[in-house]
Amino acid sequence: MPLREYQMQSADLEVTDKMKQDFEDAGYILVRNLLKNKELAKVKEALETNDAIIKHAYSMSDGQEGMTKMCLWSHPGNDVTGMVGRCEKVVGTCEKLLGGEVYHYHTKLMMKEAKTGGRHLWHQDYGYWYRNGCLFPDMMTVFIAIDKSYKGNGCLEILEGSQKCGRIEHGFVAAQQGADLERVKELEKKLEHLYVEMEPGDALFFHSNLLHTSSANNSPDRRWAFLCAYNRASNNPVLKHHHPQYTPLTKVPNSAIADCQNITDTEGKEFLNPAEDKTIKLDSK
């Protein structure tokens, strides 16, 4: 089955009725070339040269031989990565797909390094966001490929339409939380298992209940991904936790990414101290 994909044809992204229907039916839409070459180059520069991102990155065991590595922050900020998290083609699209105002729940950089990057277990984002006091799964993630992402370096894999099964119980496997594997195995018999291979700048917009996973990176190619997560304003968490409660989001035009001259200033982002995140277990080494 082909992926539900669309091509970014101009500077703006028009969300059509077909896109909304695909998101409702399949739990995702894939937008090719969401970030243009100039935008992507600026984002890569920010991610690769910012000492704060390197300083706040942390690793977790995948339960086998690999390590998953990430850096997470609560607020988008005013640098070029913040312009991505606040721009109309990202935020506006999420609002149209979720049917209402959204706010920035967090952004993270997922760093699956060559040869050593660990796997990510089958899971739903709402599988653990539920525990943060978010009463409804009116939440989603925008997964933007920074590097080429393919089967060999551990691209994202999804079960199309799995968001319709509702929240599945999650438990710890090593440092990660994963969905009940027996239930996942039964769903695999009924749903299409798709590999989401992406070029740099492509973006997957997906629902918080969509089951997804990725294999370890045994290739010589790095696989970095930039993920922005959003929550409906009407779904303000009832518990204070390590991610923000409702915080009004100031959107910017799409041109703000290329125009932004702030590459490395991370003021206001509030990087996560992983010791405060009860949904993970830090590596003990």
Q: Which residue range is the domain that position 137 belongs to?
A: 5-276
pLDDT surpasses 70 at 279: no
Q: Is residue 128 part of a domain?
A: yes
Q: What is the pTM assigned to this prediction? A: 0.94
CA distance 245 to 232: 11
How confident is residue 116, by pLDDT bands cut at 50, 70 and 90?
A: confident
Per the domain annotation, does 238 fall within a domain? yes
Percent of the chain with pLDDT over 90: 82
Answer yes or no: are the C-beta atoms of 249 and 106 closer than 8 Å: no
Of 113, 102, 103, nearest to 153 (Cα)?
Answer: 113
- Residue 193, domain CATH: 2.60.120.620
Sheet holding 58-61, edge to edge: 5-7, 28-32, 203-207, 139-145, 223-232, 102-112, 67-73, 58-61
User: Is residue 107 one of the residues assigned to a domain?
Assistant: yes
Q: What total of structural domains would you count in the chain?
A: 1
Residue 149's CB is within 10 A of a number of other CB atoms, namely: 27
On whether residue 110 sits in a domain, the answer given is yes
**Residue in this structure with the two tokens 């009116």, named with its chain if needed:** 138
Domain assignment of residue 284, yes or no: no
The neighbour count for residue 256, using CB atoms within 10 Å, is: 18
Indicate whether 283 belongs to any domain.
no
Which residues, in sequence order, are CB contacts of 8 under 8 Å at separation 6+? 31, 32, 33, 34, 89
Whether residue 263 is predicted with pLDDT greater than 70 in this model: the reply is yes
Q: How confident is the model at residue 174 (pLDDT cuts 50, 70, 90)?
A: low
Q: Confirm whether 240 is domain-assigned.
A: yes
The tens digit of pLDDT for each residue in 36-95 reads 999 999 999 999 999 999 899 998 877 776 778 899 999 999 999 999 999 999 999 999
Collect all residues with Cβ–Cβ distance below 8 Å to 247 and sequence separation of at least 6: 75, 103, 104
How confident is the model over 122-162, as pLDDT tens digits?
999 999 999 999 999 999 999 999 999 999 999 999 999 99
Whether 133 is covered by a domain: the verdict is yes
